[in-house]
Structure 1
Amino acid sequence: MTESSLPQPETETAHASAAPKPTGRVLPYVVLIALLACAIYSVVAILIDGEPGFGRALDSVLAVAVFTGLIWIDTLIARRRPKWFAAVSYCGSVYLLAFWVSNIWAEDIGGHLILGFAHPATLIIVRLTLLHVDLIRVMVRKGSGPLSVFIGALTGVAASATAILLTLSLHVWGAPLLELEPYSRVWAATAMLAAFGTIALLITGVLTGARVTRTAAPEPATLMWPRLHDGTPVPATPSGAPDFSALPPNAVLAWPRYLDGTPVPARATGGRHLSPPTTSERDSE
């Protein structure tokens, strides 16, 4: 391979990584559509609401401001994460905005108690779930085989479903959901599935790490000091390296051996003995 051909693979790789992917083109439109839908919903709600809407309008502006900060954070995180994680992170922020705006303009709103508990609680739950999914991604990457990928995907879906079911019960319209026994059972089942999946990934990572440690390649064996065919050691230079230049032209080296006496395997070309390198070969080295 010539030097002129070396930059070509890097250039192709750079063009491939710089090319926009479908996910990167769709996500900004999803965020803008969600923001526009929440704005229209707020405007319509404040026009048809019979009660004074200044406080709710201020809460909506605050929700949009927090949403903007979350999108900025998601954009920074997406630079060091896979595309699918960036999509999940953006969807989580969009879900929070839709939750907050619909909760603010609900007819039976419970005053500012929502901003004091429900909205911070949903923010903490969703962001902790994203952190959990990121940890699952790291554990799957350190694992091996399709089993780790399957367990990781199942655990991530279960963790996301748990967060959605829990936050829906904090909504004004979803408060009665916790009183339903099937809803509570499903929420508990998804939470247990996410917990057991995380533990399974941790155990898989520990076992995989132990197996890799046991099967690690041994260190390269050390060769014996080179000798001539008659057993005479090769002279040494002042630096302690073999001095092949001090050998006579007709000298023949013995076959190299490891410290335990095992001969070094021969190449495909074979050969019974090794000859000392010529002057041109030593100069080229």
Structure 2
Amino acid sequence: MTVPEHPSTGTADSKLIRISLWVAIGALILAAIVCVVWVLVGTDNGVVGRAFLTILLLAAFAGAALLDARLAPRRPAWFALASMVTWVLCLLFGAILIWLPAPGWYYFDAFGRFISFLLIVLILLLALLHARLLIKAHQRHVTGFTRGVTIITIALVVILAAMLVIPLAFHEYFTYADPYWRAVVAIAILAAVGTALVPLVNALFAPRRPVARGYGPYPAAQTPVPPPAWPTYADGVTPLPVMPDGWPDWNAYYTGYPSTVSQAIAPVAPVAPVAPPHRGSDGGPAPGAPHSGSPAPGYEGYPPPPPLPPRP
């Protein structure tokens, strides 16, 4: 079973795209309000620098939202919504890293928080790309097994991304013990196995795609071979009948009538033989008969020998 990669955009798809745009607008307004409140009631420690970083963050989010809105008609509706939610999460974590004060026992590391923000964005985008590619591979051959594996694998990847992002955002406040990272590794192994299962099942059971011959994405153009010339009757138009061995009926060429066997294989209307020219009593051409400048071809009124058909 093959599912089209880009389904036609319907009413539900349009609603999802509009929802994603409203999510972006709401997140932008909410982030601006929260940052303004922090500026008014927060401490004076680096307010100008944090405000400048907030402006850059909001501008970057607005650009990403506009790009997603422009690309939304070319993407599946679920992917457009998931992409917008991903950028909203990036905006949220960026605002947290900018305005969250450092605890009293931990110094404020602006460069470290910037690196953490870049890693958070990278992890979220990789999780989104993973879901896109896995669903695309799953749509090549949809079965109950591959559907279950795809859903479970995407859920594991989302959990893994969350478990990696949270320590990057709040490592100054919490300490993550060894069991936490053991769980991260276990989930990563299960997600990798699920990711590999879908392409393997497709390689075994999915229908093969036609391979284009020649160079380039399109098949190489082939020059049509003209059909071989088939001998005709003396009129030069009517083709000779076919004998059981595939050769022309040469007897029909000389007699003007097809033989019995060839008539049964390929019935052809008989062709009247060429009548000899009418001559007068003195042996010359009859009065009014058309005069030909060259003698009639053939031998004693018979047509000339037919040409041989080309051999394979």
2:23 aligned to 13, 23, 30, which one? 30
Q: 1:129 to 1:120 in 2, by over 3 A?
A: same
CA contact (8 A) 2:90 2:120 kept: yes
CA contact (8 A) 2:102 2:172 kept: no
Measure, in 1, the Cα distance between the counterparts of 2:9 and 2:195.
32
Mapped to 2, the partners of 1:33 and 1:42 lie a distance apart of 14
- 1:205 is aligned with what amino acid? N
Corresponding residue number in structure 1 for 2:91: 97
Distance 1:69 1:57 in 2: 18
Q: What letter corresponds to residue 50 of structure 1 in structure 2?
A: T
Contact 1:118 1:170 survives alignment (8 Å): yes
Q: Is the 8 A contact 1:144 1:208 kept in 2?
A: no
> In the superposition, relative to structure 1, how do residues 74 and 159 fare at CA in structure 2: closer, same or farther (>3 Å)?
farther
1:134 to 113, 132, 135: 132
Question: What is residue 188 of structure 1 aligned with on the other side?
Answer: 185
Specify whether residues 88 and 58 from structure 1 end up closer, same or farther in structure 2 by C-alpha distance, changes over 3 A only: same
SS state of the match for residue 170, structure 2?
coil
Q: Which has the higher helix share?
A: 1
CA distance in 2, matches of 1:192, 1:133: 16
The structural deviation recorded for 1:115 is 4.5
Closer, same or farther: CA 144–17 of 1 in aligned 2, 3 Å: closer
The residue aligned with 1:198 is 195
CA distance in 2, matches of 1:174, 1:88: 29
Q: Percent of pairs identical after alignment?
A: 25
For normalisation by structure 2, the TM-score amounts to 0.60
Unmatched 5+ stretches in structure 2: 1-7, 210-240, 250-255, 269-312
Correspondence 1:246-261 to 2 at 5 A: 251-253=263-265
Distance 1:191 1:230, change over 3 A: same
Contact 1:169-1:175 at 8 Å conserved across structures: no
Q: 1:153 aligns with which of 143, 148, 151?
A: 151
Give TM-score, length-normalised by structure 1: 0.65
Structure 2 CA distance for partners of 1:17 and 1:142, relative to 1, 3 Å: closer
2:14 equivalent among 12, 21, 32: 21
List gaps (5 residues or longer) in structure 1: 1-15, 214-227, 237-245, 255-274, 277-285
The structure whose RCO (Cα within 8 Å, separation 6+) is larger is 2
In structure 2, the residue matched to 1:124 is 122
1:230-263 deviation line (CA, Å, top 9, x unaligned): 7363759xxxxxxxxx996x94448xxxxxxxxx
Per the TM alignment, residue 144 of structure 1 is displaced from its structure 2 partner at its CA by: 3.6
Counterpart Cα distance in 1 of 2:170 and 2:198:
36
Q: Which residue of 2 aligns with 1:74?
A: 68
Indicate if the aligned counterparts of 1:234 and 1:247 stay in contact, CA closer than 8 A: no
1:21 aligns to what SS in structure 2? helix
Residues 242 and 248 in structure 2, CA contact (< 8 A), matched pair in contact too: no
Q: Would the aligned equivalents of 1:92 and 1:126 in 2 still touch at CA under 8 Å?
A: yes
C-alpha deviations, 1:148-182, integer Å up to 9, x for none?
A: 1221122122112211221111113775252373x
Change (3 A) 1:203 1:32: same
Which amino acid letter does the alignment assign opposite residue 88 of structure 2? V
| Distance in 2 separating the partners of 1:76 and 1:247 | 75
> What does the per-residue CA deviation read over 1:200-224, in whole Å, with 9 as the maximum and x for residues that have no partner?
1122122125x759xxxxxxxxxxx
Structure 1 SS opposite 2:100: coil
Tell me, in whole angstroms, the C-alpha distance in 1 between the residues paired with 2:257 and 2:160: 77
Shift of 1:86: 1.3
Q: Which residue of 1 aligns with 2:56?
A: 62
- 1: CA distance, partners of 2:137 / 2:173: 35
Q: Return closer, same or farther for 1:247/1:149 CA change in 2, 3 Å cut-off.
A: farther
Q: CA RMSD in A?
A: 3.4
Native 8 Å contact 2:50 2:99 kept in 1: yes
State how far apart, in whole Å, the 2-side matches of 1:176 and 1:195 are.
Answer: 28
SS of 1:176's partner is coil
Distance 2:173 2:92 in 1: 17
**Match of residue 46 from structure 1:** 39
Q: Which stretch of the first structure deviates more once superposed, 106-115 or 53-62?
A: 106-115
